[in-house]
Amino acid sequence: MTFEVREGEVLSLIGPNGAGKTSAFNAITGYIHASSGSIVYRGAPLVGLKPNQIAEHGVVRTFQKTSVFNGLTVLDNVMVGLHRRAKQHPLAIMLGLPGVRRDEARLRDLAWEILDLVGLRARAEETAVSLSYGELRLLEVAIALAAEPTLLLLDEPVSGMNPAETGAFMALLARIRTRGITVLLVEHDMKMVMGVSDRIVCLNQGRIIADGPPAAIQSDPQVIRAYLGERYVRARG
């Protein structure tokens, strides 16, 4: 299986369960080791690197199961995600030097900016455990954005969301794009996928059966047979 994510685009991976979508995510981000082949981002090979090392290259992901720090406030969750941007040496932090306070203020300003972007400013001082499911998904994206990605991998980000929450997430994705962030998306909500993607790759049993713009993918006979189904075609018609 070989595919390319182009700079600045939203590329979606679709396909039936077990097609290899999450495995591809896990291999790209270092959560599993690819048994063969290569994964290269901006000229840097990623195979063999740990997830934190891959994040240093700007490749950051979210997960199917929401992963946040439930006991921390929404703001502090984002502050944790900002650790890659901290400039102070651990010894300076231990000594409480003035530069540490300036750096913390800078990071806090960045955290507020990210919360504005995802629409969670009003919930900043509340603990994460108090958020609704849709808000938790937004917080996870906020934490990922705090790591300063250039390639953001979103694993089923609107799973479990109602239509209004999904629409709000699609609007957020448009705002993320204005920051020049490339997005690789795995999602089963086809209305969302067709609405946000520049290009779609359809997988089936670990191989690519189609690669193209949404209009071509939703009318591709192989994609219809393997994944979309005739019901989708009738509903669209």
Q: Identify the structural domains of the chain with CATH numbers, from first to last.
A: 1-58+149-237 (3.40.50.300), 70-132 (no CATH)
**pLDDT tens digits along 116-134:** 999 999 999 999 999 998 9
Residue 199 has pLDDT above 70, yes or no: yes
Most confident range, picked from 26-35, 109-118, 228-237: 109-118
pLDDT for the residue numbered 102: 75
Residue 89 has pLDDT above 60, yes or no: no
pTM of structure: 0.88
pLDDT for the residue numbered 169: 94
Ranges of H-type helices in the chain: 21-28, 51-56, 74-81, 90-95, 98-118, 133-146, 163-177, 190-196, 214-217, 221-223, 229-236
Closest CA to 137 of 110, 179, 168: 168
**pLDDT tens digits along 32-61:** 988 788 999 999 999 999 999 999 999 999
Residue 208: exposure state from Cβ atoms within 10 A (0-12, 13-18, ≥19): middle
Identify the residue with better confidence: 220 or 35: 220
Identify the residue with better confidence: 104 or 207: 207
Mean pLDDT estimate for the chain = 88
Q: Distance between CA 151 and CA 59 in Å, rounded?
A: 5
**pLDDT tens digits along 140-183:** 999 999 999 999 999 999 988 999 999 999 999 999 999 999 99
Pairing of strands 40-41, 44-45: antiparallel
Q: Distance between CA 236 and CA 112 in Å, rounded?
A: 40
Model confidence at 99, pLDDT cuts 50, 70, 90, reads low
Q: Distance between CA 151 and CA 87 in Å, rounded?
A: 22
**pLDDT tens digits along 106-119:** 889 999 999 999 99
State how far the alpha carbon of 182 is from the alpha carbons of 89, 107, 198, in Å: 31, 23, 11
pLDDT for the residue numbered 96: 52
pLDDT for the residue numbered 230: 61
Amino acid at 27: A
DSSP string, 161-192: --HHHHHHHHHHHHHHHTTT-EEEEE-S-HHH
